[in-house]
Structure 1
């Protein structure tokens, strides 16, 4: 699957901006497009209609940062959307896909994960949402039906986007699945703009678009987001309801990797996480005892 082009993204953003939203009077004229016309956007951005049309048709070559910023202002893009627009504008129109190296979690991130212990669920994610590592509480919270050791093998690593859209158990876990699904897709689009030559990322997006109608619909909407904090409302098969916040710790020397940490939003959720932590501590104690008897 080819990743998104500049022109395709511009069109989705242009379609969502109505003339009224930016104070443009149409005086009751019947319009054939849902949002701004190309010539209207071009005029407001200070470029010629012909040049903007070529941009949207991916035929204008590389656009200047000033032009992209002007278009972003007219389209009222937020910070993540503007960054994505710049990423798309700065690349070649047909980037050649290459297979990236296998991702490995930075040792400092693993040390931090280890220091968190088991009282706080945590997961280390790669750029495509693959689980590079997790503590036992993080594993128990989100994927107790999967092998805890799977992240150690690149061929078996759980993929959070695949789990989210293709695994019924993961879907049933999240009571606010629809909200989180939109965020997952929006973050994948931002990542695709940052890494336009990543063949594995293109393969993942293509697979999800083919196998999940809901993913395909969300992808076509063109949303972009950098999800660093948020809320997960869970219905866990072992401990019941849990309402948690996720927050992302980014590492300067491995910016594509995310250490996600989950904290309870209320007392009952804190109790649920304590039950999980107690359960995994019992598993660890049993495993340690078995090893000592060998």
Structure 2
């Protein structure tokens, strides 16, 4: 499911500082100022009006807008005057999507607001909105950043588990089934593992940089929370490294079995 082209704001809340928030509309987002309650607004990055609003009305400086609107979406984090620009990736849980087809999420975070932008639907956005509606969400902008990052990582866990189970099964089958019947499946599985790691390794670095940012609104507890998330994504990357190595071993085993079969045919 993608956002409808006419939608600009998908979710918007004014935080109450106690884990909840009031859902607001586009007019409230446009009228918001720094004296208001902390704001979270999630935008449809496919909407043609977003660039104009960000550059002309949002109050963000040119450098921040350039990062948020850039074609390059490799995960990274940049500390700019007044706030942080962060680009992350989330698992694509839309129907028909492959695990390695990850969705780019672009963020601006300062002391009183977080803007998030994506072209496709992300479950983590819906989950963060639900938490605010049920008074179980973040209380400030740094909490929004860490809370959303945590949801992104939690949603990756089932995909990683599925990849691991697929490798387990292929290892068993590689001992008995014909190599030619498994090579295509192995190549696809290895591609998924490598592609996911290609996104998560730079995301780990982007998150690590957040721990050392000097923004005044990011306090010691926020850094401790971010360190916990860095440890979590590090485990994900290490698991993908292990899966990549195991698929390499399976490839060597299949190649060896295929070579043995050819040698036997030659001898006959």
| TM-score, normalisation: structure 1 | 0.27
